[in-house]
Structure 1
Amino acid sequence: MPSVDLPPLPPSPARLLSTARPASAVHAPAVDSRLLLNGAREIEIVHGDKVYRLRHTRNDKLILVK
């Protein structure tokens, strides 16, 4: 995958709250949606034998559909 220069993300409320969690809490890995979409408005994600579509809407929301 080619390297893409992206501006830094502002701190999200979830990231700010993550410091308040106990050390024993398991954190899921975070992936910037701009890296996944790579400039596209929609991508296909293959999971096993299923194909999902991840779409970035005009309202700046993400929708994942089967």
Structure 2
Amino acid sequence: MKKTTKRLGGTNDGHVLGERTFAAITAVEGISLSPESRKRLSSMKKRKLTNEEQRTEVIRAYIEAKTR
């Protein structure tokens, strides 16, 4: 059974990848998550954040990392 995600409203056209799809792409590309990123993703999943909330949290984490 294929699970799809629909976006509600908004002007930004795009597609949100599912967790398994993202994992498959990163495996092919040879990309691996840092322990900090794994912890953040696990936390977001437990808190059941919306796609927009997850996006905001990831962007905030990378902005903070760049300013260090």
TM above 0.5 = no
**Higher percent of residues as strand:** 1
**Higher percent of residues as helix:** 2
Q: Which has the higher contact order (CA 8 A, sep 6+)?
A: 2
| Structure-1-length-normalised TM-score | 0.30
